[in-house]
A and B are shown apart, each in its own frame.
Chain A
Amino acid sequence: MTKPFHWVLVAAGTAASPAFATQYLSAEQAQALMFPEATAFRRQDLTLTTAQMQQVEKLAGVAARSVNWRVVAALKSDATIGYVVLDDVIGKFELISYAVGLNPDGSVRQVEILNYRESHGAEIRNPAWRRQFVGKRAQGGIAVGEGIANISGATLSCTHVTDGVRRIAAIGQAVLAR
């Protein structure tokens, strides 16, 4: 036997919609992490045409979902060395903001989660509630309680993020690749 370990049963609270949340990186931090060699970043948002939307759907095997995409070009001495695409996905209980770094040929360079927010109440479907977390700067906290920094539990699937990365990879290939 190993040494006995310490665990304490916690009484469930009475909050209406308790939530776990973590902020990992700001969009700016993610950009710098993905393209450390970049000398500048330039916002270069995309609006997909109907033909591009169809192409993205065909390549990704998932719905293109949105016409407008938040894209930042990574520059080195005026040359584009890649892109960062910013997106949010909503699961059954979770809102996840993430960034996908793309190489100039459209291939995926890196994926980083920016922000994770979970709710077991009704607000996860409420656009106003969701908006307050989009693009929020990292503060490095977790709303679990003093000193608690990790959660153990049944695995929460992140299919929405995986589909989202596939969609952005298709946008990279169909629209951004050179």
Chain B
Amino acid sequence: MIRRAQPLLGTLVEVTLASDENPQAFAAAFAEVALIHRLMSFHDGDSDVSRFNRTPVGTLIKVDAHTWEVLALADRIAVASDGCFNVACAPALVEWHYLPPPSPDAPRYVPKQRVYELGQKGLVRKTASSWIDLGGIAKGYAVDAAITALKRLGVSHACVNAGGDLRVIGEAPWYVAVRHPLRPGMPGASVSLRNEALATSGIYFTVTQLGQHGDVSPLVDGRSGRPVIAPRSASVLAPSCTLADALTKVVTACQGVQHPCLATFGATAFLI
């Protein structure tokens, strides 16, 4: 196995290949992740996300086809999850100091509110005063984009892992350790994967006390706008890492694996 890692998407992105027979493979995979980072970063003022956040309500803006795809899927997951997942929860994350304010207007998060409408491919209209953050889905999407690039090069055995959200190519099993939420330096479960994705969400690295807000975490229950504080971590296995990443937010919000949207998207889940 040959492994490389680069700092992208606010975390370490790791690519593992069975061999170095294709010298273009690492570069192609990291280039895809870097592209998604540039398009969907909350922090980069030139990203599609930042342009959306600064734009006035009612405006139609042009975004990259990748961003449009993510917004389309986010919309479907928001509806299917009864609002557990909502990319419009950025105002809460700004209020809890996890994200910097992208504009001075300080909108409030309104549970279940839809803040954009998709036009023809590449076009999106802002329909409510709000900020979006794709931090709960874009890491997964970036992993999928890297996997697609590797497949295009004929790579038949590989793993792309963006800070714990990962997807593998290959019929031979990949063994993955899932961190124990109470002892994150230890594996709490082990999973074998074949041509599928696994993502995990938990609060153990990021939960903090914040004055009047009490305990906060960067995982938001979209139905209430409250932070998820339950200690158990949620892992989702799905055909794509985009789905796995986003659906972990549904499982953490519900603290259960029974939500019907998991089956709708061909996913299964477990809590530790």
A binds B: yes
Residues of chain A at the chain B interface (Cβ within 8 Å): 1-2, 4-10, 12-13, 15, 17-20, 22, 24-25, 92-93, 96, 98, 111-113, 116, 118-121, 140, 144-145, 147-159, 161-162, 165
A156 and B12: CB pair below 8 A? yes
Query: Which DSSP category, helix, strand, loop or mixed, fits chain A's interface?
Result: loop
A148 and B10: CB pair below 8 A? no
**Cα separation A18 to B5 with both chains bound (whole Å):** 22
| Residue B150, interface by CB 8 Å | no
B189 and A10: CB pair below 8 A? yes
A18 and B183: CB pair below 8 A? yes
Nearest 8 A/B pairs, CB to CB: A153-B179, A113-B5, A120-B185, A154-B202, A18-B185, A155-B163, A153-B164, A161-B7
Q: Which residues of A contact B4 (CB under 8 A)?
A: 24-25, 112-113
Q: Which residues of B contact A17 (CB under 8 A)?
A: 185
**Cα separation A108 to B107 with both chains bound (whole Å):** 36
**Cα separation A116 to B6 with both chains bound (whole Å):** 11
Q: Which of B7, B11, B196 contacts A155 (CB 8 A)?
A: B11
Interface string of B150-184 (1 = CB under 8 A from A): 00000000010101111000000011111111111
B11 and A118: CB pair below 8 A? no
**Cα separation A148 to B268 with both chains bound (whole Å):** 21
A7 and B270: CB pair below 8 A? yes
A152 and B200: CB pair below 8 A? yes
**Cα separation A147 to B184 with both chains bound (whole Å):** 19
B184 and A153: CB pair below 8 A? yes
- With A120-B185, A144-B177 given, is the CB distance from A158 to B239 under 8 Å? no
B-side interface residues, number (CB < 8 Å): 60
**Cα separation A1 to B238 with both chains bound (whole Å):** 10
Which residue on chain B has the smallest CB distance to residue A10?
B187
Q: Which residues of B contact A118 (CB under 8 A)?
A: 185
Which residue on chain A has the smallest CB distance to residue B10?
A157
A155 and B10: CB pair below 8 A? yes
Q: Which residues of A contact B78 (CB under 8 A)?
A: none
Which residue on chain A has the smallest CB distance to residue B237?
A5
| Residue B272, interface by CB 8 Å | yes
**Cα separation A118 to B159 with both chains bound (whole Å):** 21
Q: Which residues of A contact B188 (CB under 8 A)?
A: 9-10, 12
Q: Which of B7, B11, B174, B235 has the most CB of A within 10 A?
A: B7
Q: Which residues of A contact B178 (CB under 8 A)?
A: 7, 151-153
Q: Which residues of A contact B191 (CB under 8 A)?
A: 5-8, 152
**Cα separation A152 to B184 with both chains bound (whole Å):** 10
**Cα separation A44 to B270 with both chains bound (whole Å):** 52
Q: Which of B11, B186, B238 contacts A18 (CB 8 A)?
A: B186
Contacts A/B (CB < 8 Å), 13 sampled: A1-B268, A2-B239, A7-B191, A9-B272, A10-B177, A12-B180, A12-B183, A113-B6, A113-B7, A150-B14, A152-B198, A154-B205, A157-B205
**Cα separation A19 to B5 with both chains bound (whole Å):** 18
**Cα separation A174 to B3 with both chains bound (whole Å):** 33
Q: Which of B4, B159, B185 has the most CB of A within 10 A?
A: B185
Q: Which residues of B contact A19 (CB under 8 A)?
A: 185
A154 and B5: CB pair below 8 A? no
B183 and A22: CB pair below 8 A? no
